[in-house]
A and B are shown apart, each in its own frame.
Chain A
Amino acid sequence: MNPLVDVQHLSRFFSLTGGLLQRKIGEIKAVNDVSFAITKAESLGIVGESGCGKSTLARLVLSLIRPTSGHIVFDGQDINRMGKKQLRTLRARMQMVFQDPHSSLDPRNSIYRSLEEVFKIQKKNTPKKQIIERIHQLLGMVGLKPEHCRAYPHQLSGGQKQRAVIARALVLVPEFMILDEPTAALDVSVQAQIILLLQELGEQFDMTYLFISHDLALVDYFCQRIMVMYLGKIVEITPSNLSLQQPAHPYTQLLMDSVFAADPNVRKIIPSLEGEIPTPFDLPRGCAFENRCKYARSICKEHSPELLEIHTGKFAACHFPLI
């Protein structure tokens, strides 16, 4: 089966200028030679700490920014070769939900107008009566009431705003949704509501998700596969349900060890960390994780490891994988 989204050797470098003449003094390798594929109706999670390139990757996949090199193939078409018009038609099939629902909604537009705008942008000439019906239906789907149409963003709670944002993303019945930390700004009790809603919608519409988060336990719960990123590179791709398996990359292990379970019976000793996280501006020649890795040997300093399949469905970029 062909994947819905196929990312091949994707890179995006940002140049850094400085000095009096604003000369180029370096490059930030935000996304560095990344390849992966997402099959239809799958949810793939991306986990990593701040600065690892997960949000840049999301923007690249939606073609909100252009890559430095590499290809993104969506349903057989290379999206970077498309013209504006083609891209607009394609964008109806892919949507994004951002972290902060408050800044995703125009404060001067009612929820109705925010949703109606999508029809206008797509120039579909839908009759008004149908638009109203459709919007009411969508609000019902995400657990809001028809009267929320008239509400302005400041009148809604954070959870309700995120529901409205999800409703807007669903207007055009997309096949693919990118969720960039959709619950990071919400309370835990509301986070659970939104996650359940997304799971339900995923089943209802056979939705393909790319779920970005820094919360490994949440990604493990929500996704079928997990991709761990470190400083612009993929270090591991693994099937989820991490409690039943040993991670292959020492960084994944570190992330798992850093998660505190809400259970006082499993208090753990936290391994003290040596070394600072290198900046993506000044990447080491070898493995980027080498200076924080307790298993590092001399080869790690010299050669950057390739992402290789070490088990069926399990990939790791490490000279000495843990399994």
Chain B
Amino acid sequence: MTLLSVDNISVEFTTRDGRVEPLNGISFDLDDGEIVGLVGETGSGKSVTAQAIMGLLPFLDGKVSQGRILFKGNDLLSLSEYEYQKIRGNQISLISQNPMTSLDPVYKVGDQIVEGLRLHLDITRSEAAKKAVAVMTSLGIANSEKVFSQYPHQLSGGLKQRIVIAMGLCADPKLLIADEPTTALDVTVQAQIIALFKKTIQNRHMGMIMITHDLGVIAHLCDKVVVMYAGTVVEKGSVSAVFNEPGHPYTSSLLGCIPTFGMAQKTLNAIPGNVPSVRTFPSGCRYHPRCLKARPVCVDHSPETIRAPNGTQVKCHMFSPDWSKDHEPVG
């Protein structure tokens, strides 16, 4: 069953320099028990997507300008702030990148989990404490009763991130959004946390959106992947299709950028140019200035999203029937 359906949303921010549009026409679906990866570089709009789903866009100057976000069939954008608060943290949880900014340094970690629990569930403090310890134990925290009454600075980075995950999971949400949850961690700890996510999502049969710039994490953890570039979705599909036969030129170039074991003899495949910032998104296809296959049509017209031969949804002129030979490559 479709748990979350993000349907053609765009987000606008009003800044001192005028309006900018960090998200333009994003769509993707997520089923129960499924892990979807959002992958992209700086400024691709991954985190803004998470904020839009959570209803956490900056109140005064950011808004969803079009589209719908359906969670279990209900449009989240039509909710009042009060109704949103009942869903946020209860049905949908967010885990952010740096565990230290999610935890208050002057409160014991256990009390911080209990606070969230009692906000959403009608239970006593001691019941909440019991539940918190149980969730902490299920996340592989050894002697969780001792950790319960410790302060954040007494814990290692990996342990802190486990506490933040426990905070996200303790109210039994249906959807977990993790925004770069392992970027601040060491590789061996990252591997542990990723394994933990995988196990937890399977056991609880919930949905998860994994936001990361690390294609390795996506390949290992996710069922589906949404590749974002400069505020648009350039390709989406099953992980095996996107990684094995990438359709969009950006996806295949990005995969060529990553060093892997056994490529010491080969050379890396850099993408020329820079990641555009939100104020200077190019015209037409936003990837065209860096694309090796770009033609005049890419400069002027934004491509439609269509089905590529590999089965993924691709936003590229290359797969349209009009991509005829009389268009000469740019430059």
Contact = CB atoms under 8 A, between A and B. Distances in A.
B259 A218 contact: yes
Interface in A270-307: 270, 272-273, 276-277
B243 A263 contact: yes
A193 B261 contact: no
Given A188-B213, A270-B195, A259 B261 contact: yes
Contacts, number: 132
Interface in A229-275: 240-244, 254-265, 267-268, 270, 272-273
Interface in B207-254: 213-220, 239-240, 243-244, 253-254
Given A192-B269, A270-B195, A261 B216 contact: yes
B271 A217 contact: no
B275 to A, nearest CB: 6
A149 interface: no
A196 interface: yes
A240 B41 CA distance: 29
Given A262-B255, A264-B219, A276 B187 contact: no
Interface residues of B, number: 47
B262 A244 contact: yes
B191 A221 contact: no
Q: What band does the interface of chain A fall in when counting residues whose beta carbon is under 8 Å from B?
A: 35 or more
B65 interface: no
A187 interface: yes
Contacts of B243: 262-264
A217 B220 contact: no
Contacts of B157: 50
A190 interface: yes
A191 interface: yes
A259 B244 contact: no
Nearest to A197: B270
Of listed B188, B240, B255, B272, residue having the most chain A CB within 10 A: B188
B56 interface: no
B300 to A, nearest CB: 24
**Interface core residue of A254, A255, A263 (most chain B CB under 10 Å):** A263
B186 to A, nearest CB: 4
Interface of B: 41-42, 140, 156-157, 186-188, 190-192, 194-195, 213-220, 239-240, 243-244, 253-264, 267-272, 274-275, 277, 290
Interface of A: 49-50, 157-160, 187-193, 195-196, 199, 214-218, 220-222, 240-244, 254-265, 267-268, 270, 272-273, 276-277
5 contacts: A189-B271, A192-B257, A220-B259, A262-B255, A277-B156
